[in-house]
A and B are shown apart, each in its own frame.
Chain A
Amino acid sequence: MKRIIIDREQCDGCLNCNVACISAHQEGSNFYTVNLGSADSQSRNFIKFDPKTGYTPIFCRHCDEPECVLSCMSGAMQKDPVSGHVSYDEAKCAACYMCVMNCPFGVLTPDRQTRTKVIRCDFCEDQPDGPSCVRACPKQAIEVKEVSR
């Protein structure tokens, strides 16, 4: 399957991946018009900073054994047997947030505005050029790699 791989050493914390992610999920916006101040501006990826360890990129792994899928009581999250990615059907989701509780890597988060859905990486499945975070990284620290399952 394809997984987003980040070279932590290359990351200089510019957050272009955050902006690109928000923009990719904000209808009709681009890097210049994206409204970062709106309540629905939530990135699906995170760069954490610690003075000692520097920048730590936290991106959904679409895990081989995804705890989020096991915890989903509505059937909204499914592991696609072909792509290996975890799909998410917002309409099915009942916002119980057991997936948030069960993600061992703290990647999943409720939507800030309505608490009716989960903010999670969709691998930019609708974008012909693949994940927007990858394209936005000026350091080429983020790439999509084929990994074995």
Chain B
Amino acid sequence: MKIIIIGASAAGISAARTIKEVEPNTQVTVISRDDCVHSRCMLHHFLGHERDEAGISFVDGHFFADNHITWLKNTAVVGLNTAAKAVTTDDGQELFFDKLLIATGASYFVPPIPGLREATNVYGFRDLKDARLLDAECETAKNAVVIGAGLVGMDAASALLKRGLKVTVIEMMDHTLGLQLDEKSARPYQQHFAAHGADFLLSEKVVAVDLDETGRGVTIQLASGKSIPADVIVIAAGVRPSFDFLDKTGIATEKAILVGDDLQTNVADIYAAGDVTGLSGIWPNAMKQGRIAAINMLGERLLYNDRFAIKNTVNFYGLTTLSLGNINPQPEENFDVIVREDHSSYRKIIMKDGHISGVIIQGDIGGTGFLQHLIKQQIDLSGLDKDVCDLEYSDFYAVDPENGEYHYAV
């Protein structure tokens, strides 16, 4: 059997590895624009000069050779013929498959702000190509502006600070890391970043970017009337699933590629996994989707049911936070909010009717992995005679007598 995988990030590599584990005789070809497998969650370590390109790879250097996988790097898929079961590449090759996995991820989005799309010194921070371009800019730039204080923006800011640039972060919300943190848990991060030289402009909006005669953005105009000088601009305002080549192929898409629980598209033998499916934008879920799609392409039928995707961890300057679910509930939602804090830790648990729907744990996050399971499985805690902040996995301890694996006694 011949399987083609488009994309060499979490979902694509996880699928390739799984196929070779389960059916080593399968012919696997991975096609990627990237010339270097890398973890986008580590781009800031590359830009910050803490790691080189090999240091941000999540597979070893011989992965493709060792697993007998053909890798077409620096190659984009530009067309798909579902009837002939073939993809065409930007270098004119036509490659046939029995099964296809689309794991093309997402691309960063540049909002339609005057000057922003035109400026030649505006960069996303999505893949190694972006990080290389930013790296080159860092040689001469002094003032960096990061638009968007989500995880990607903060990653970029931390690296630019490490490179000695003056960094200004502009954010529409009133605090940083708005998807992960509440105002209180965001504050210590802002303090850490500020102590390292960052300026934050919160509840602010970019309205225009002024260009110089060479087309570079040199001044950021804000809704408040302020203006900020910029030598280099990072845009971190979110991403969009990336599937341009599917136009007129009959593969059903909305904002993302639509897949069933088996991760197959509406066209038989064509699967999708990772950010391109819009199911989740987070590494662990992309890995799991790649694995499940791979097993299904080999003829099994595994269902993807790990739909809980609002989760993340944050670690800047040694301050760690776990964030799960709905962490900024609206008053009209009538949640119970339980908070416990001391000088070095903060716990906030959002509940309703004995079920947890959101968690922020800042400080010591050791052993907190079970909380995700409590939310995912909607485990009823109302009968437990214990403060929810004191719960541990041991309160749900159960062991499989055959193989010694743990599960949940509920």
Question: Taking beta carbons and an 8 Å cutoff, which residues of A are in contact with B?
Answer: 3-5, 8, 46, 48, 50, 53, 56, 58, 61, 63-64, 67, 70-75, 81, 94-110, 112, 114-116, 119, 145, 147-149
- Of B366, B393, B394, which one neighbours A50 at CB under 8 angstroms? B394
Report the minimum CB–CB distance from A87 to chain B (whole Å).
12
List CB contacts (< 8 Å) of B295-347 with chain A. Answer: 311-313, 315, 318-320, 322, 324
Instruction: Decide: A71 near B42, CB < 8 A? Known: A61-B406, A63-B405, A104-B370.
Output: no
- Docked pose: A74 CA to B46 CA in angstroms: 13
A100, B404: Cβ atoms closer than 8 Å? no
A70, B394: Cβ atoms closer than 8 Å? no
Q: Is the interface of B mostly helix, strand, loop or mixed?
A: mixed
Which residues on A sit within 8 Å (CB–CB) of B393?
58, 104-107
B288, B315, B373, most chain A CB atoms within 10 A? B315
| Extra inter-chain contacts (12) besides given A71-B284, A74-B56, CB under 8 Å | A4-B404, A46-B394, A56-B397, A58-B394, A70-B291, A101-B284, A103-B370, A104-B393, A104-B408, A112-B364, A115-B319, A148-B402
- Docked pose: A94 CA to B405 CA in angstroms: 28
Question: Taking beta carbons and an 8 Å cutoff, which residues of B are in contact with A?
Answer: 10, 14, 21, 39, 41-42, 45, 56-60, 282-284, 287-288, 291, 311-313, 315, 318-320, 322, 324, 364-370, 372-373, 392-395, 397, 399, 402-406, 408
A108, B369: Cβ atoms closer than 8 Å? yes
B14, B56, B367, B372, most chain A CB atoms within 10 A? B367
Nearest residue in A to B367 (C-beta to C-beta)? A106
Report the minimum CB–CB distance from B404 to chain A (whole Å).
5
- Docked pose: A98 CA to B368 CA in angstroms: 11
Subset of 11 A-B contacts with CB under 8 Å? A46-B367, A48-B392, A50-B394, A61-B404, A63-B405, A71-B283, A75-B39, A97-B320, A101-B324, A103-B370, A106-B367
Which residues on A sit within 8 Å (CB–CB) of B282?
98
Report the minimum CB–CB distance from B202 to chain A (whole Å).
25
Report the minimum CB–CB distance from A57 to chain B (whole Å).
9
Instruction: Decide: A71 near B287, CB < 8 A? Known: A100-B366, A103-B369, A106-B393.
Output: yes
